[in-house]
Amino acid sequence: MEKLIYLNGEFLTAAEAKVSVFDHGVLYGDGIFEGIRAYHGRVFKLTEHLTRLYESAKTIMLNIGIPMKEMEEIVTGTLRENNLSDAYIRLVVTRGIGDLGLDPNNCSNPTIFCIADQIKLYSTELYENGLDVKTVAIRRTNPDSLSPRVKSLNYMNNILAKIEAEQARVTEAIMLTQEGYVVEGTADNIFIVRKNVLLTPPLSAGCLEGVTRNAVISVAQQLGIEVREELFNRHDVYNAQECFLTGTAAELIPVIKVDGRVVGQGLPGEIFKTLLKGFRELTLVDGTPINQ
């Protein structure tokens, strides 16, 4: 069956689903997006993803033009059209077609598209054995310039970090704030375990408010694991018992080496494994049904 993509009110094939070269999403990265997952016929944390989308829109003063309920229908409708119950969904809203100037007021209507597909960021081997990562020289965008809480179409900061990691022949990059605190991966939040406490940087450090991050925090709290949103630096990561990344696409993935230092035992940790189990259980029950 050919994949069908939602684009501005229509379901089109990949060959037909085209965006204008005058779209400001293409010309300026002026737009926002969400990466969402469906598990077992339910869209995991759909309300949380849509809330973040509409909050990003508000901050960049983009009028999406349709209510959240209709956006929900676009996401579930795309999955139904493609007969998918487990999938990765990319929902994008751009400023729309304008002229060559950057003024968003010259863009008439936002462009909305939704793709449902599969995604596999890392090999099974890496999920089982953990990632070798590095802290990169390029710093995460300063929140005073552009809030990393806006999930914008401009990922150049993250892409440059990814390139730096690849040049150093490691799989992932850990990004730091201007002050040198650990903040997040290129498309993932970061957690460490120190003295059996789960730590993750606070949103004020300048990371995305990850949906998976929030889910992991609540799973940990339900399991009685102490969680703190707290700034930490590279020394804390090198000397952590455990380290792992979270994201919709990556889910939960262990980190076993950072800048050449082995973290903990150099194996996926016990708290990581407990949280992964709890997260998997949550994906079985949580979510908006695709077929209502």
In the structure encoding, which two tokens stand for residue 142, read together? 């300063």
Closest by Cα among 218, 222, 219, 184 to 200: 184
DSSP 97: B
Question: What is the contact mask toward ligand PMP in residues 104 to 143, using x (rule: CB under 6 A)?
Answer: ----------------------------------------
Reduced to 3 states, what is the DSSP secondary structure of residue 279?
helix
Q: Does 92 bind ligand PMP (CB under 6 A)?
A: no
DSSP 125: H
Q: How many CA atoms lie within 13 A of 172 on its CB side?
A: 28
Q: Which one of the spans 71-79, 106-114, 203-211, 231-239 is the region binding ligand PMP (CB under 6 A)?
A: 203-211
Nearer of residues 211 and 258 to ligand PMP, judged by Cβ: 211
Pick one of 32, 182, 211, 243: the residue that binds ligand PMP (CB under 6 A).
211
> Out of 3, 45, 134, 151, which one is annotated catalytic?
151
Nearer of residues 158 and 171 to ligand PMP, judged by Cβ: 158
Instruction: Provide the minimum distance between the beta carbon of 26 and ligand PMP in the complex, in angstroms, as a whole number.
Output: 19
The b/e string for 272-292 (b: 16+ C-beta within 10 A; e otherwise) is beebbebbeebbeebbbebee
Pick one of 17, 187, 199, 220: the residue that binds ligand PMP (CB under 6 A).
187
Q: Which one of the spans 88-96, 120-128, 209-217, 236-244 is the region binding ligand PMP (CB under 6 A)?
A: 209-217
Cα-based distances in Å from 154 to 30, 81, 200? 7, 29, 24
Looking at residues 214 to 253 of the shown chain, list those that interact with ligand PMP (rule: CB under 6 A).
246-248
Q: Which one of the spans 91-99, 130-138, 180-188, 197-205 is the region binding ligand PMP (CB under 6 A)?
A: 180-188
Instruction: Provide the minimum distance between the beta carbon of 49 and ligand PMP in the complex, in angstroms, as a whole number.
Output: 7
Q: Does 7 bind ligand PMP (CB under 6 A)?
A: no
- Catalytic site includes residue 151: yes
Q: In sequence order, which residues have a C-beta less than 8 Å from that of residue 166 and are 6 or more positions away?
A: none
| Torsional sign, CA 125, 128, 134, 136 | positive
Q: Where are the beta strands (DSSP E) in 83-231?
A: 87-94, 111-117, 131-135, 172-176, 182-185, 189-194, 197-200, 227-229
Nearer of residues 11 and 54 to ligand PMP, judged by Cβ: 54
How many chain residues are in contact with ligand PMP, going by CB under 6 A? 14
List active site positions: 151
**Would you tell me which residues interact with ligand PMP (CB under 6 A)?**
35, 158, 184, 187-189, 208, 210-213, 246-248
